[in-house]
């Protein structure tokens, strides 16, 4: 039986993301990591389904950063709100957020959160999808306006932060990986990191 590998021998961990939400989520695991922007074009392809868009972008982000850090274990993730097969991206501004929330009012939206973990030197590569079904309450314009003025979630797919006041917009959330809706499915992340040789404990 071989002795435990010293911590210094562990591969570095890199989060390929510009998201403050993913950075905060990954920090909950108490693993040392660095953050690097992946610089990936997130434009959907013509006719691309939301789940496939999320998968492609998560893989592309991980690959872009792994190419610069081949010895590291790299995490890439992406989330696309799926309304009846149509991808809804980050609203970017108030008017777009109003439009998104009006469309989602009283509807069920699937937040497709994709995850990719790569290490080029070891040949490790795993990908997964953590869909989250979110049922929105029927919202009136006054509620939408009050919420957006309070939280300004213009950098969030679907125009709402479930971890904040946005929870008041919802009727139900169905998921097997609770942090997936915020942007990084930590149960799946832990499983992949263990498989890549970076146990959390």
- Tracing tokens 């501004």 back to the chain, one arrives at 93
The SS3 call for residue 32 is coil
Strand partners, 14: 34, 74
For residue 66, the Cα-to-chain-centroid distance in whole angstroms is: 18
Instruction: Report the distance separating Cα 157 and Cα 8, nearest Å.
Output: 38
Give, in degrees to the nearest 5, the angle at Cα 94 between 89 and 95.
Answer: 85
Interatomic CA distance for residues 44 and 67, integer angstroms: 23
Catalytic residue status for 78: yes
Burial classification of residue 155, based on how many CB atoms lie within 10 Å of its CB (0-12 exposed, 13-18 middle, 19 or more buried): middle
Residue 86 tokens read as 């149509």
Query: CA 63 to CA 44: how far, in whole Å?
Result: 18
Q: Do residues 72 and 31 lie in contact, with contact meaning Cβ atoms separated by under 8 Å?
A: no
Which one of 41, 78, 121, 140 is the catalytic residue? 78
Strand-pair category, 86-88 with 124-136: unpaired
| Residues known to be catalytic | 78
């Amino acid at each position: 039986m071989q002795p435990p590998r010293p911590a210094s021998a562990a591969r570095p961990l890199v989060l390929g993301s510009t998201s403050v939400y993913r950075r905060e989520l990954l920090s909950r695991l108490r693993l040392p990591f660095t953050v690097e922007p992946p610089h990936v074009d997130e434009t959907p392809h013509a006719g691309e389904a939301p789940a496939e868009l999320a998968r492609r972008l998560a893989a592309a982000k991980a690959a872009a950063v792994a190419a610069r850090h081949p010895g590291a274990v790299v995490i890439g993730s992406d989330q696309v709100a799926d309304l009846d097969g149509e991808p809804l991206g980050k609203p970017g501004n108030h008017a777009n957020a109003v439009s998104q929330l009006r469309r989602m009012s009283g509807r069920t939206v699937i937040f497709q959160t994709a995850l990719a973990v790569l290490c080029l030197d070891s040949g490790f590569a795993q990908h997964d999808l953590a869909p989250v079904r979110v049922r929105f309450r029927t919202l009136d314009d006054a509620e939408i306006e009050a919420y957006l003025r309070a939280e300004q979630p213009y950098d969030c797919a679907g125009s709402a932060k479930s971890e904040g006041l946005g929870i008041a917009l919802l009727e139900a959330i169905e998921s097997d990986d609770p942090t997936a809706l915020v942007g990084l499915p930590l149960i799946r992340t832990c499983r992949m990191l263990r498989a890549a040789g970076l146990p959390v404990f």
